[in-house]
Amino acid sequence: MQHRKLQRSAALAALKKAFEHFAVTVDEGSPNTGDHRANVLNGIELSQGTPVCGATDNQGVTDSRVRYELHMENAQFALPITLVTLQDAQNALSNITLMKAIGTGIGNTAAHELGHQFFIGVGMEDNSINTYNGKLGCDPAQAGSGPWNYGFGPISWEAVTFTAWANALVGGYHR
Amino acid sequence: MTLAPNLLNMVVGDTHAIEALGSSGQSLTGLTWATSDSTIVSLSTDDPPVLTAVAAGHVIITAGGASADVTVSAGALPTGTVLWSNPGPGGCVGNIVPAVPSTNGVADVFAFSCDGGTVQAITADGQTAWSADTSHAITVVPDFNGGLVVANFLDSDHSQLASITRLDGIDGHVASTYTAQSGAQFYGLVVHTDGTVFLVQNCDTCQQRSVVGINSSGAGYAYVPYRTGDFPGGFCGPAVVHVNWHLKLPRISSGGASDTISIYDWPECFGEVNGLNVPMITNADTGTLLTWMMGVPGSPDQLLFGTALTNGTSSTVTVAQSVPGQESEVTPVVQAQDGSFVGTVWTDPGNGGDAVQLMVAFDSSGNVRWTVPGDQPQIATEDGGVIGQTGVTYDGNGIATGQIAALLTQSWRGNNYDPGFVQQIVSSLINKAKTLWAQLGGNPSSKGTAGREWDFKLVWLNTCGVEQPCGFYLHPANPLLHADRQVDATSQAATIGSFGSIEEGL
């Protein structure tokens, strides 16, 4: 279970770091807890024929989907680690760096999708690059993106999204 | 122009203030006021007038083209009735935050516009006392003097901190300004009851984090836990370095003096990667309560759970499971004045099922008092109980005593507001909040922090990756593998294995 613990710890750390400037508490939760959620699910979600790491239906919703499997694959590429046999894949579960990279990717994608619960287009448009504001940020093989999503680069919102977050989260929240 | 409040529910014999506001929220005078039926609601000759409920019925109050609906009832207003409604800044309210009562402030709550660019101080009777610009605000925290502390971003780079300003509680003017160091970002903003504003500042040029105290005037403290390590020499194995790690808690006073409280020490072999997460709240005016989870040194697949209570510069540490099957550190959430506290923890149900989150109550020594599955503490109440996120109310023994329809925003004066509007509601809540929200830092729990933070959750619902390594690419057989992904596995080995620093903030 060490691999699971490492992934979850890295994911939570990445998500917390994404919101460290703001009045936001980030924690693991269960369905329908907290104000907003990123739900980690199994497989690849197709969006216009392209597999995506995460999805959010509309601005204003409180749940997003983060697809586990694609992060598992992309983290392998980002490091990079080449696996040839099924035994290699099994052994990879004890690769601490890979497990942390998978978790970091999931946490960063979760931050991105939580952003879309507040902003789609204005405040957070998906054609920007180089931060986890970026459209293809989860895929380290795509031009304009990079392996930063898996723990190799600076974690920062682009200015326009940082500002949008600041305005949306200002004053905290209370009910 | 609008009237504030623009909706009122009154009982015969009540009196209530009303005002007219201009487009920027300024109070207007010299208008002609009228009531549609003075036998139901009469107006005084003041400017603006005071309303008096004379008899049951409904009237329209007008002034300068704006109007307000007023309904008068003969008897007590039922639970859920809107006592008054204020249109709020720009007619769209993003959120409201309780103001701390003070002779130096007039607000009961602060209302932020939907775009976050404006804040209004709303009084307990629904009037707008003042408006202020928050269009450059990164975060805003009510202080304990009736005002607001605002962290503002830099125009040229919105991720950088420009200044910390304090908005006066009486009229909202900028009472003081701290100009941040060039290139600074900040992590955490704590407003102490004594007036000191603490922030952890990080800047690119100085390559270090520092704790900054602003407007220091008392004897408060801020706490910043961090982990540091040293290399005593020797190896755990071939090329595996032995490290002694230390969890430390610097305590910085309002005057800038600092102590470092040692919390926990452990040896580790570089490579075991014992992750560390340290939630912390204040501890009944004496210090802090912090918890952590880490791998057991030498056997990182096993989990170690710690709790530390600090008092002054000393700490009492307990390393033990709090509940059977514990899978996470205890996250302390609310604490009562006697030092007892309520938090959450994840547990393994032991039947192969998903982890279960428990709400756990502790006494002041950290001993478990009771647990409740499937809920999270939101508000500690005067009777020693707690209100859960589900709206269930629990007494001091964790026994469910009722269910409230919705969690309202409660001001420090005990007034209840509908979140998303500036509407004061007749509530069935009989227990005033004892502690609204405890926040990382030095705020004494007797007053807590006005307003709670947003709560974002990462929810693990996947089975893939939990029991099986599904999804790894196998080179080169996997047909999905891009050609450009066929890379040398060793090319970045040096980067992967390097550790740039032995000291890190938490």
| pLDDT tens-place values along chain A, 175 residues long | 566 777 888 898 889 888 877 778 888 888 877 789 999 988 766 666 566 788 888 877 889 999 888 888 788 877 877 777 666 777 777 788 888 888 988 998 899 889 989 887 777 766 665 556 665 556 666 544 556 677 766 667 877 788 788 777 765 554 3
Q: What is the DSSP-derived secondary structure letter of residue B90? A: G
Total residues belonging to chain A: 175
The whole-number pLDDT of residue A86 equals 66
* B473 in reach of chain A (CB within 8 A): yes
Q: Give dist(CA B407, CA B284) in Å, integer.
A: 25
Mutate to test the interface with B, among A3, A99, A175 (most CBs of B within 10 A): A175
φ, ψ at B132 (rounded to 5°): -145, 155
Cα–Cα–Cα angle for A37, A38, A39, nearest 5°? 110
Instruction: Give one word for A56, left, alpha or beta, with left for phi > 0 and alpha for psi -120 to 50.
Output: beta
- pLDDT, one tens digit per residue, over B434-447 is 443 333 333 333 33
Helix (H, G, I), strand (E, B) or coil at A5: helix
Quickly count: other Cβ atoms within 10 Å of residue B470's Cβ: 17
Let me know: does A171 contact B451? Beta carbons within 8 Å: yes
| pLDDT tens-place values along chain B, 506 residues long | 889 999 999 999 999 999 998 887 788 999 999 999 999 999 999 999 999 999 999 999 999 999 999 999 998 898 889 999 998 888 788 888 888 878 899 999 999 888 888 999 999 999 999 999 998 888 888 887 889 999 888 887 777 788 999 999 999 999 989 888 877 777 667 777 777 787 777 766 655 667 788 877 666 777 777 777 777 766 676 666 677 888 888 888 778 888 889 999 988 776 565 666 677 776 655 677 888 887 777 776 677 888 888 888 889 999 888 888 888 788 877 776 677 788 888 887 777 666 788 899 988 788 899 999 988 887 777 677 888 878 788 888 999 988 876 667 777 777 888 877 899 988 765 444 444 333 333 333 333 333 456 778 888 887 766 655 555 655 444 333 333 332 222 222 211 112 222 223 33
Q: What is the DSSP-derived secondary structure letter of residue A147? A: G
Q: In whole angstroms, how far apart are CA A17 and each of A46, B257, B506?
A: 28, 28, 10
The whole-number pLDDT of residue B127 equals 93
Which B-chain residues 251-270 have CB contacts (< 8 A) with chain A? none
Written as one letter, the residue type at A53 is C
Let me know: does B90 contact B114? Beta carbons within 8 Å: yes
Cβ within 8 Å of residue A32, ≥6 positions away: none
Q: Which residues of B touch A81 (CB under 8 A)?
A: 489
Q: Which residues of B touch A171 (CB under 8 A)?
A: 94-95, 97, 110, 112, 116, 119, 134, 137, 139-140, 451
Beta-strand pair B299-311/B287-296:
antiparallel
Query: Is the Cβ pair A172, B140 closer than 8 Å?
Result: yes
Q: Which residues of A touch B139 (CB under 8 A)?
A: 21-23, 166, 169-172
Written as one letter, the residue type at A129 is I
Q: Give dist(CA A7, CA A34) in Å, integer.
A: 21
The whole-number pLDDT of residue B477 equals 40
Q: Give dist(CA A166, CA A19) in Å, integer.
A: 10
Q: Give dist(CA B409, CA B419) in Å, integer.
A: 6
Let me know: does B372 contact B388? Beta carbons within 8 Å: yes
